[in-house]
A and B are shown apart, each in its own frame.
Chain A
Amino acid sequence: MKALSISPLLLALLLLSACVTINVYFPAAAAQEAADRIIKDVYGNEQKTPQPAEPSSQLQTPPFAMVMVGAVLEWLVPPAQAMDIDIQSPGIQRLKGAMTGRHQQLAPYYASGAVGMTRNGEIAVRDLNAVSLRDRAQVSQLVAAENQDRTALYNEIARANQHPEWADDIRKTFARRWVDNAPAGWWYQNESGSWVQK
């Protein structure tokens, strides 16, 4: 009987602490959805249907306790802030526009393997010898400019969502989704950093 009377209190404490933890927890699923929306716009129509990513958020498979936490959470913070990633800010739109424009120029280099996707959510020159001499400087420039914009985009998304500290998590999410959304044949860096063709 004693154990029974303690456990609700324990549960309440647990819930409270869980609540605090989850409040700052990076919304992985929402971030992935936001990344996909941006990436699909940047890639345009050429990409194939993305592979579903493995569920990475605790919030997606809710046991009873999590449902409770979810309810408390919703009561504490408006759902829009906890579950959604805003990607409508003019800065994000402007960066996405710049990247979409640049993608037209980069796409042939992704396809030829001259440029590949790095594991940190950027791109890199993989094989400069696959590029005509005339275009080599331009490829290097495109890669540098794209990486500048990508870093700005990750920071911008974090900032627009009032969580500048999320920038790294957003970068990681994007790093995965750039690859998952890319058509077969493009090159990417695997976890150990070596180049793999998709």
Chain B
Amino acid sequence: MASPPRSGIRLLLFCLLLVTAPARALEGISLSLGDLQGADWSLQELSLELDWREDGDLRARLSAARASLPPPLGEVHDVQLDCARLDLQVTRIRCREGRLRAESEWLPGLSAGFAWELDRVTGALQLQLRDLRTPHGRLDATLQLQDGAWQATLDIHELELDGLPALALPWYAAAQDWSLQGRLQGQLRLAGRDTTPASLAADLQLRDLNYANAAGDQAGEGLALRLQVQGKTGSAGWELELQAHVGQGQLYAAPMFLEFGPEAALELQASLASGAQGIAVTAFRWEHSGILRAAGSARLAAQGMMPEQVRLDIEQAVFPGAFTTYLQPWLLDTSFFDLDTRGELMGGLHYQEGGVTRLQLELQDLSIDDPRDRFQVEGLAGRLDWVDDDQERRQQLRWTHAQLYRVALGALQVDIQTRGRQVSLAAPVRLPVLDGSLLVDRFELDYGETMAWRLDAALTPISMTSLTQALDWPEMAGTLSGMIPSVRYENGELQVGGTLLVGAFDGDITVRNLRMEQPLGVVPRLWADIRIDRIDLETLTRTFSFGRIEGRLDGAVEGLRLEAWKPVAFDAWLATPEDDRSRQRISQRAVDNLTNIGGGGVGGALSRGFLRFLDDFPYQAIGLRCHLENGICHMGGVAPAERGYYLVKGRFLPPRIDVIGYEERVDWESLLERLRTVTSEEGPVVR
């Protein structure tokens, strides 16, 4: 900014010299001065005309066909300086009713009224440009100069900003990447000595401000803002007091989008000091009404203006506005970007080059809701103070209600111990899960390089009725409980040590080797081995309205693999235990359904015609095998039969019924379809 005033002044002095040099002689003088050249300027076809007016004043006209001036003035042609009243006195020289015209590529049709006065005793010079008109707008300018000290005032009545990036090009090459539109009004005052500015005051109003860079990651639209700046040069650099009010418009500063309006205006205050080491923001306030109120200080690097140090004090952040405006943009590549949030938080943040060193959060009744129904937390409150050091700290966190995959978790209050990036439970905690609870003995979280956690817990009985209702499954009786000695999560993989015990259908189902990959990702995967011990078939068949079967059932699902919660592989068998002494009967409907599934037929000593008069039949063994692989279920039964396998092996004595399956390979999807049809049908289909 030092260069233009200096060149301006030099040019002016040069003109003055020209104008004042010739003494009073004739009524008129016309001088052709040819070309003049300086270090960084040249004037061509320079001519001077002097006329004496009747009232004794002098009229001076200076013109140049072409002028090469220092940037940003550049190439100018048809320059005319017309001083209608040049008043030459011993003590002062004064020019009034002056008129300036010039043509240039960047400022076509420049015109202004001007006046100047030079005190020959004190050497003080005053210059005024009035009603300076350019295609971009209209402004007044004054310049006062005495003993090297100068003061310039710019009154901007109306200035279109479109041309500014082009004007800035000589100093700021990147300006060609920017587009700028808008209207500027206001006053700018600069004062200084020789080539050094000493103070600055500006009160500017910008309306309809649009700007964008070529990449589109910085842009503003329809912005209305008022900018007030007070500044002076200190020992090291500028000291500035900045105040901005943005009352309207939108801006995008990747990745953040801010929208302003009467309800959400931005009030920004900052005190800055620039120096060789960068810029120190000694204090700033950021008030985004209704969304975020924060204050703090920062230090910006001299190179690239990136923050080196920030202390931020969040006085109030109101959700969901604070989430959608300030947090969401940073979470876009995580699976937590579209959370519904409510509540408020306060807190603080310390940032030191390279990372956050301290984060304090005071949550006030915060609610977080995952729109994809994976989790939900209500009434989250507590105070967290995280510091990047080795000291141990106690924190407390509580919520009134939470939910994980539609399973309700009750109120929780938990004491947490933190040390650096490690979090652990200070004491065992009881988390209500439906009508039972999870007793967590130990929980350790480490989020150093990657996130990892481990948990030791026991599950006290949860009724299967409430669990199946919550998961929208067919309602089952029984309970779910288990010792979970070690749950580990590392590298996106969740491993459950120990055994989950499901007491269902009056028998036991045990789950071992449970392992999950990307449990919250798009394609969650699950591995497990399941054993089934003596479940009651009557309860089971009633639950799934399959058609009544009485008896007990053992079984296993080995190598179960779920992908996106759907089975893709397992080796399963279900069969009547060998030592089963219970009553073993199978109903007509169940026979039909089994026949359907096995794709087989009914065989036996008697034709079906007789049997249809009976409600149910005794059986010796019942069973099914399915080895699922690549979407194909390789089927089997309790025993091999001729060209097939027995699904139901009847008692030796009549009435005997055997159900034999013939299909060895069944498409898994069509098998599921058959099961769905079978269990959704109402009464028996015996005809």
Question: Which residues of A does B touch, CB under 8 Å?
Answer: 86, 88-91, 93-95, 98, 125, 127-131, 133-134, 136-137, 140-141, 144-145, 148-149, 152, 156
Chain A nearest CB from B164 CB (Å) reads 19
Question: Which residues of B does A touch, CB under 8 Å?
Answer: 212, 214-217, 219-221, 250-252, 254-257, 259, 328-329, 332-333, 337, 522-523, 525, 562-566, 568, 630-631
Contact B216 A128 (CB under 8 A): yes
Among residues of A, the one whose C-beta sits closest to the C-beta of B213 is A129
Q: How far is the CA of A113 from the CA of B682 in the complex (A)?
A: 55
Contact B522 A94 (CB under 8 A): yes
Chain A nearest CB from B679 CB (Å) reads 21
Given contacts A136-B252, A137-B332, contact A94 B523 (CB under 8 A): yes
For this complex, 17 residue pairs linking A to B, each with C-beta atoms less than 8 Å apart, are: A86-B630, A86-B631, A88-B631, A91-B563, A94-B522, A129-B219, A130-B216, A131-B216, A133-B219, A133-B250, A133-B252, A133-B257, A136-B219, A137-B254, A140-B255, A144-B332, A148-B522
Q: How far is the CA of A137 from the CA of B329 in the complex (A)?
A: 7
Q: How far is the CA of A88 from the CA of B216 in the complex (A)?
A: 40
Among residues of B, the one whose C-beta sits closest to the C-beta of A86 is B630
Contact B252 A152 (CB under 8 A): no
Cβ-closest 7 pairs across A and B: A128-B216, A90-B566, A141-B332, A94-B564, A129-B216, A91-B523, A133-B252
Q: How far is the CA of A90 from the CA of B221 in the complex (A)?
A: 45
Contact A156 B215 (CB under 8 A): no
Q: How far is the CA of A128 from the CA of B219 in the complex (A)?
A: 10
Q: How far is the CA of A137 from the CA of B253 in the complex (A)?
A: 9
Main SS of chain A's interface residues? helix
Q: How far is the CA of A136 from the CA of B258 in the complex (A)?
A: 11
Q: Which B residues lie within 8 Å of A141 (CB)?
A: 332-333, 337
Contact A134 B328 (CB under 8 A): no
Given contacts A127-B216, A128-B216, contact A89 B251 (CB under 8 A): no
Q: Which A residues lie within 8 Å of B214 (CB)?
A: 129
Q: How far is the CA of A88 from the CA of B215 in the complex (A)?
A: 40
Q: How far is the CA of A136 from the CA of B254 in the complex (A)?
A: 8
Chain B nearest CB from A170 CB (Å) reads 16
Contact B522 A133 (CB under 8 A): no
Among residues of A, the one whose C-beta sits closest to the C-beta of B324 is A137
Chain A nearest CB from B604 CB (Å) reads 37
Chain A nearest CB from B501 CB (Å) reads 27
Q: How far is the CA of A140 from the CA of B253 in the complex (A)?
A: 13
A91, A140, A149: residue with the most chain B Cβ atoms closer than 10 Å? A91
B214, B216, B251, B564: residue with the most chain A Cβ atoms closer than 10 Å? B216
Q: How far is the CA of A89 from the CA of B561 in the complex (A)?
A: 12
Q: Which A residues lie within 8 Å of B256 (CB)?
A: 137
Among residues of B, the one whose C-beta sits closest to the C-beta of A142 is B332
Contact A140 B522 (CB under 8 A): no
Q: Which B residues lie within 8 Å of A152 (CB)?
A: 522-523
